[in-house]
Structures are given as C-alpha cells and as structure tokens.
Amino acid sequence: MRRAADPPRRVEPSPPARTVEVRRSTRRRRTVSAYREGDRTIVLIPARMSQAEEQRWVAVMLDKLAAQESKRMLGDDELTERAERLSGQYLDGRARPATVRWVTNQNTRWGSCTPAEGSIRLSHRLQGMPEYVIDYVLLHELAHLLVPGHGPEFWRLLEPYPRTERARGYLEGVVAADRLPHLPAARRR
C-alpha cells in the first residue's frame, strides 16, 4: 500500500481524454472526489483503497465530471457542428444531416432519424450525460442516414468509435435504474 507521501501516480485513460492523477490520502477515510486542473483530472481517494477500487472510482469520477461538464446545454447549432465532426471523423463525411436538434417528445428512445428527410432528433433526456454517450447516440443516428436498419453493415459503421460498448452500457444502466423501485424520500440515505 502506498503512503500519502508517495508521489502521485498517473493513469492514462484512452485518448483523447485528459491525464488522470490519483492522489491517495491517509486522512481521507471514505470519500472520493475529483476536479479538473488545467489539462489534468485529479482524483482524491483514501490511501487504503485497493487497485481495483481505485480503477472503479476513477471511472466513476470521470463519468461524473463529464456529466457535470456536459450539463451546459448544447444548442441545436452545436449539435449540428458535432454531427459534422463525428461524420467526418468516423464516417468519412458521408452522413450529412439536413437538421439535428433536441426534442422533448422522445421518452422511450434516445434518438431518431428520418433518412428521407435527413433529420436527426436527440432526446432531451441525454442532456447532462457524458459527452461520449451523446456522441455515440449522435453517431448511431448518423449511421442510419447511410444504413436504415440495424444489420451487420450498420454495426460495422460504428466499429471505429472507441466508446460504443461503454456508451451502450451507460444507457442500459440508465434504463435499468429507471425500472428500479423508488423508495420514499424519508427512507433514503
């Protein structure tokens, strides 16, 4: 086990993420926190945590920070710019939507696409989620401009995006959490 006096260890997440610095503290007992400092993310954890716990908490805190940062609402113009960037980066610029916008009438799906019109709509429920999740849903809908169904050709288009599985897992977790019974406020801790 490392002591608080040991130099901080650097953990490099998958590009293009920032450098993550984990700082252990003997005074910290239970809490974990994280913040941005320039081009680095600092994660503060108790010194007693195992490597597995550290890795899990680093992932949790990175997702939490990303969600906080994406809470600033992207407008439709920013969504359009993002769609153009994603199409260029992952689909060789072949997917060219006519419109990309947020909608509030999609409560059972994350996004939708009408290839004949070239329109993409993202559910307002995505707002506040990590950017990689929004990018995945946007890229998913862009792929539908090229391939309407969910066959093998469609999924091949999404293979280059490195966080597809993570984003899908995140969205599945959100759906699962919504299905859990909710305790009355007085019984929550």
The predicted-structure confidence for 153-186, as pLDDT tens digits, reads as follows 999 999 999 999 999 999 999 998 888 886 665 5
142, pLDDT greater than 50:
yes
Rounded to whole angstroms, the Cα distance separating 15 from 52 reads: 21
The predicted-structure confidence for 53-97, as pLDDT tens digits, reads as follows 999 999 988 888 877 766 555 677 888 999 999 999 999 999 999
Rounded to whole angstroms, the Cα distance separating 93 from 29 reads: 50
Which residues, other chains included, contact 120 with Cβ-Cβ below 8 Å and sequence gap of 6+?
83, 97, 99, 100, 101, 111, 112, 113, 138, 141, 142, 145
Rounded to two decimals, the pTM is 0.60
